[in-house]
Amino acid sequence: MREQAVIIGIAGGSASGKTSIAKQLYDYFKGHHKVKIIRQDDYYKDQSHLTFEQRVKTNYDHPLAFDTDLLVMHLKKLKNKERIEKPTYDYTLHTRSQVTEVIEGRDVIILEGIFVLAEPTVRELCDILVYVDTDSDIRFIRRLRRDIEERGRSLDSVCQQYLKTVRPMHEQFIEPSKKYAHIIIPEGGSNHVAVDLLMTKIKSIVDE
């Protein structure tokens, strides 16, 4: 039995396909009960003390929007296979949900989020670093559809947010973090060869 968990960090721009890749890996291994996905987005700072109008104005693509201290504390525990009580996030309300999720120690933790490679304290805790590299026009189209269908947004709000914060922050923080990746996956979840390679690596860890 492994003493420490292996943490696989999956970064990349918004709507690049991080969640899709993480889910494919999780689905493949879910029978083992040894793998768990952690979303960095669940560690956005709690904003319940602000009004909805104030929350909308937050720059969600800046490192300061996240409670990275809490994420690092939880990752250290997960590394030692200790249980954590993870916050969960509500994109429609722009704040933490009331519910938390208890996560027991696992052999493999898949951590996905835009700042996983850009945040040094998070990056250093990951054993395998992956960057999902999808063109920005494709990411924008995917995000537009997803945010309207799943995150309660309007066409105008998605476009405004993209131009005001998502695109400039991507250029300032996310894209430059690609240099820290061990593996770069073009096009995300539809890159079956890359996903298969990651599965093989995880399988070798789970079967140890």
Ligand X SMILES: Nc1ccn([C@@H]2O[C@H](COP(=O)(O)O)[C@@H](O)[C@H]2O)c(=O)n1
Ligand Y SMILES: Nc1ncnc2c1ncn2[C@@H]1O[C@H](COP(=O)(O)OP(=O)(O)O)[C@@H](O)[C@H]1O
Residues that bind ligand X (CB under 6 A): 14-15, 18-19, 41, 44, 60-61, 91, 94, 114, 166
> Among residues 2, 77, 146, 201, which is the contact residue for ligand Y, using CB under 6 A?
146
Measured between alpha carbons, how far is 164 from 192 in angstroms, rounded to an integer? 34
Which of 18, 153 has the CB closer to ligand Y?
18
Per CB under 6 A, contacts with ligand Y among 114-143 are: 142
**20, interface contact from ligand Y, ligand X, none, CB < 5-8 Å by kind:** ligand Y
Residue 18 is assigned to a ligand binding site = yes
Q: Per-residue x/- marks for ligand Y, 53-92, CB under 6 A?
A: ----------------------------------------
Which of 116, 202 has the CB closer to ligand Y?
116
96 with 46: CB under 8 angstroms?
A: yes
Residue 16 is assigned to a ligand binding site = yes
Residue 188 is assigned to a ligand binding site = no
CB of 139 to ligand Y, least distance (A): 8
CB of 18 to ligand X, least distance (A): 6
Per CB under 6 A, contacts with ligand Y among 14-43 are: 14-20
